[in-house]
Amino acid sequence: MDENELIDVRKRLAEKMAGEITISDNPGETLKKWRKNFEIAQIDLSNFLNVTPSVISDYENGRRKSPGTLIINKIINALLTIDLQSGGNKIRIYQNILDRGFDINVVYDIHEYSIPLKLDDFAKMIDAEKITGNFAKMINGHTIIDSLRAIVELSSNEFFRLYGWSTERALIFTRVSTGRSPLVAIRVTNFKPGAVVFHGLNVSKVDPIAKKIAEIEQVPLMTTNLPINELIKALRS
């Protein structure tokens, strides 16, 4: 990525972040989500901004009034600059998401939540049956994927793009026969999703190896039989 490309990606990413934070019902939670997406500690962000960590914490937890545009832009600039100073890995990842669309035959829906959603609440929304994992954790979005097409047609880089703006998301796999293939694919990648959902598969049909991989990788696993259109509606309501 040359300097001009970097400037362009940084500008587009900053606009995406600012827009999402500004329209959020809970700007502090959304700020926190982006900070975690960039894997930047509160102390590092506060040091860059020359404020105490408690100031960042107060904004993120709603103990201060919602930050204005000036503060939001300062925090976004700080997150992007800190990432660049450490190699720009996150910005490079997001460039792929900004530059390339998805084949609608592979991805049925991809959605980012304005604030993190507790996985237990997510499971209730889609009438899921839990198999294994910690359902107290938070996720930032979901992707609904045709598992057969994804495994056959996507490269490793394209598979990573299924994570959207955050790896802390639920990957919902349709057309699953046993669940083994999606979990094997996840096993060999460097990034792990916040949760995996098998759509249209009864718990009794889940491959024991898929369950074992989910336990090893500490990826919560569940199934749902909610029709796709109802599932999307429930998660976007």
Cβ neighbour number for residue 48 with a 10 Å cutoff: 17
Contact partners, residue 228, CB within 8 Å, separation at least 6: 108, 144, 174, 199
Residue 106 to residues 165, 186, 237: CA-CA distances in angstroms? Answer: 18, 17, 23
The structural domains of the chain, with segments of one domain joined by +, span 3-97, 103-236
**By CB neighbour count within 10 A (0-12 exposed, 13-18 middle, 19+ buried), where does 34 fall?**
buried
Q: Indicate left, alpha or beta for 48 from its phi (over 0: left) and psi (-120 to 50: alpha).
A: alpha
Consecutive H or E run containing 128: none
Angle (nearest 5°) at CA 160 between 31 and 194: 55
Q: At what angle do helices 53-60 and 42-49 cross, to 10 degrees?
A: 110
What is the per-residue pLDDT across 91-123, written as a single tens digit (0 to 9) for each?
A: 876 776 666 565 656 777 888 888 899 999 999
pLDDT in tens, the chain (237 residues): 677 777 888 898 999 899 989 888 889 988 998 998 888 999 999 999 999 999 999 999 888 877 889 999 999 999 999 999 988 878 876 776 666 565 656 777 888 888 899 999 999 999 999 999 999 999 998 988 888 887 777 776 667 667 766 778 999 999 999 999 999 988 887 778 999 999 999 999 999 999 999 999 999 999 999 998 889 889 877
Q: Token digits for 38?
A: 């960039």
Does the domain spanning 103-236 belong to CATH 3.40.50.720? no
Cβ neighbour number for residue 225 with a 10 Å cutoff: 14
CATH class, range 3-97: mainly alpha
First-to-last C-alpha distance (Å) of the chain? 38
pTM above 0.85, yes or no: no
Residue 69 to residues 6, 27, 62, 142: CA-CA distances in angstroms? Answer: 23, 11, 16, 28
Whole-angstrom distance, CA of residue 160 vs CA of residue 6: 21
Whole-angstrom distance, CA of residue 223 vs CA of residue 226: 9
Residue 4 to residues 87, 111, 127, 197, 236: CA-CA distances in angstroms? Answer: 16, 29, 47, 40, 36
SS3 (DSSP) at 108? strand
Cβ neighbour number for residue 203 with a 10 Å cutoff: 13
Residue (of 226, 178, 175) closest to 203 by Cα position: 178
Contact partners, residue 99, CB within 8 Å, separation at least 6: none
